[in-house]
Chains A and B, each alone.
Chain A
Amino acid sequence: MTSEKVAAPDGKRAAPALSVHSLSKRFGDRVAFEDVSFEIGYGEVFGFLGPNGAGKTTTVRALGTLIAPTSGSATVAGIPLTPENGVEVRRRISIMPESPGLYLRLSVTENLECFADLYEAPDPDDRIDRALRAVSLADRAHDACGTLSKGLRQRVALARALLSDPEVLFLDEPTSGLDPVAARGVHELIAALGRSGVTIFLTTHRLEEAERLCDRVAILNRTLRTIGRPDELREQLFAKTLTVRTLVPLPDPGRVFGGLPTVDGWHQDGPAGYVLAVSESAAAAPAVTRALVAAGADVLSISESHHSLEDVYLELIDEDEEAGRR
């Protein structure tokens, strides 16, 4: 898969590509999502995470003008999200739904021709050709979509989403069902699109994908639980820690760790393991090492604890589940 630039947006702009204020959607008594607010800049790759039924897809459908929000306001690609602006908004965005939704009896090119015309794309043949090359499908252009594997269909759907040179591209689980090589291709394409100024709104369950690709992520569980850069979220939720392993248990660990100014606190983790709360790992690790050596300890390892985006996600969702049980 090439990382060729398909979209030609105006580059990064001062105004946000997506601006959402207190947006809510209810279906009768059921809350799909509530009081969601965020802003996304042009060229940003934004991850939208949450468990099943959290309201992610409904949010995308609302921002894509497929359903009207119950309350709140938003601007999408600079256009206020109102029913009368629906066509104008949809001209500037593309949505790739989780299910490719292709006409299986038609060829890849025929599928794309239909959508190029719906977007009234100038020079549709060239657009189709570029989109197909971007997803490495040029050699399958004349195959019926029904004969393609699930992964290839997903790539056709991605090519379709690129046809309109969108300013904002909504991708709902773009790598669902793809093998690792194909998924890597999609990741490269997303990164390239982001670099070229296209705003990517990525809904995914693959947290490592979000961590790798996204400039910022938001975690939604009906309400927006958190938003920020993955490293910021880790810092917000988890204290920095050093994990120390020694060959035998320290006779008096309190004396070793208690006197160190860079160590805020500690607790034992197993017979010869210690977890130290530190404010700055780079300063704390050498001091801890020196203190251990001075105490005559046989040190096996000193490592900085790493919390992934998955830890952040699980921590927040677990909190919600616990609150729900109370």
Chain B
Amino acid sequence: MSVSRRRVRAIFRKELREYRRNGSIVSAMAIIPLIFVIQPLIDVFALPASAASALRHEDSLLYMLGIPAVVPAVVAAYSVVGERQQGTLEPLLTTPVRREEFLLGKALASLVPSLAISYAVYAFVLACVELFAHPAVASALLRGPELLAQLLFTPLLAGWSIWVGIAISTRSSDVRVAQQLGMLASLPSVAVTSLIGPALGSASPGAR
């Protein structure tokens, strides 16, 4: 069995076009990261230089890994049940598209914007911390291993959330139920992100 890249691309491109025209999907994608960053950023800007030594022993920015865990879950949970609800699933399935190609196209269409949003938010937060936080606080927060962990774990967490979200979506008959279940299913991934910090600490002996 071979996967047709053209058919995967057709689904992917169609999905991105729909995202662009669907304000509710875009706002759902944008609101979650905003919730994740606004309050913590305000707190960070208010921190005095004396807080830097304490921050050096915490992995404060890793909480942002919640973004790739939650954002794609909502979109992926909509992907199949949304087609079913709109009545567009049947025409799609009457074409030669294979189930794998269809789901791969859907998954990529959830992954790419989620990664783009996650990395854009990281970049925005890092820039804000660098520009507006106290220099001592900024240097305590912006550490190489933590940034690397964010870079690497983001696609893994997003991929896992998408896989779970699509699995829920294929079995659901109602969009709202699917999205709520998708959000619920992403919570364990958010919990996993809290383990990454300590794991990072134990992996680098000089850090603590």
B88 contacts A118, C-beta separation under 8 Å: no
User: Chain B residues near A99 (CB, 8 Å)?
Assistant: 87
B7 proximal to A (CB < 8 A)? yes
Determine how close the nearest CB of chain A comes to the CB of B206; give it in whole angstroms: 53
Give Cα A117 to B21, complex, Å. 21
CB contact under 8 A between A120 and B4, given known A90-B95, A101-B88, A114-B14:
yes
Interface residues of A in 96-137 (CB under 8 A from B): 97, 99-106, 110, 113-115, 117-120
- Chain B residues with a Cβ closer than 8 Å to the other chain, count: 25
In contact, A117 and B98 (Cβ under 8 angstroms): no
Asked whether any CB of chain B lies closer than 8 Å to the CB of A95, the reply is yes
Dominant SS at the B interface? Answer: helix
- Say if the beta carbon of A157 comes within 8 Å of chain B: yes
- With A97-B91, A99-B87, A102-B88 known to touch, is A87 a contact of B96 (CB < 8 Å)? yes
A15 within 8 Å of B (CB atoms): no
CB of B143 within 8 Å of the partner chain:
no
Whether B13 sits at the interface, judged by CB under 8 Å, is yes
Q: Would you call B94 an interface residue if the criterion is a C-beta within 8 Å of the partner chain's C-beta atoms?
A: yes
B residues within 8 A CB of A105? 17-18, 21-22
- For B94, give its contact among A64, A103, A113 (CB under 8 Å): A64
CB contact list, A63-90 vs B, under 8 A: 64, 66, 87-88, 90
CB interface residues, A 191-221, toward B, < 8 Å:
none
Q: How many residues of A contact B (CB 8 A)?
A: 30
**Is A160 interfacial (CB-CB < 8 Å)?**
yes
Question: A91 within 8 Å of B by Cβ?
Answer: yes
For window 77-102 of B, CB contacts with A under 8 Å fall at 86-98
Which of B21, B87, B89, B96 is within 8 Å of A118, CB to CB? Answer: B96
A119 and B4 CA atoms in complex are apart in Å by: 10
Closest residue of chain B to A96 (Cβ to Cβ) is B91
Residue of chain A at shortest CB distance from B101: A118
Q: Is the CB of B14 within 8 A of A120?
A: no
CB <8 Å contact, B90 and A110: no
Does A94 have its Cβ within 8 Å of any Cβ on chain B? yes
The listed residue with most A CB atoms (<10 A of its CB), out of B4, B88, B89, B95, is: B95
Q: Which of A101, A110, A117, A120 contacts B91 (CB 8 A)?
A: A101
Which of the residues B7, B18, B94 comes within 8 Å of A117, measured between beta carbons? B7
Contact B14 A97 (CB under 8 A): no
Residue of B nearest to A95 (CB): B94
Q: Known contacts A110-B14, A160-B91; decide if A101 and B86 are in contact (CB<8 Å).
A: yes
Q: Is the CB of B9 within 8 A of A117?
A: yes
How many Å from the CB of A102 to the closest CB on chain B? 7
Q: Does the CB pair B90–A114 fall under 8 Å? A: no
**For residue B97, which residues in chain A have a CB less than 8 angstroms away from its CB?**
118
Known pairs A88-B96, A95-B91; list 14 more (Cβ under 8 Å): A93-B94, A99-B87, A101-B89, A103-B18, A103-B86, A105-B21, A106-B18, A113-B10, A114-B14, A115-B10, A117-B10, A118-B92, A119-B95, A157-B91
* 22 A–B contacts from the bound complex (CB under 8 Å): A88-B96, A90-B94, A90-B95, A90-B96, A91-B96, A95-B91, A100-B91, A101-B86, A103-B17, A104-B86, A106-B14, A110-B14, A113-B10, A113-B13, A115-B10, A117-B6, A118-B92, A118-B96, A118-B97, A120-B7, A157-B91, A160-B91
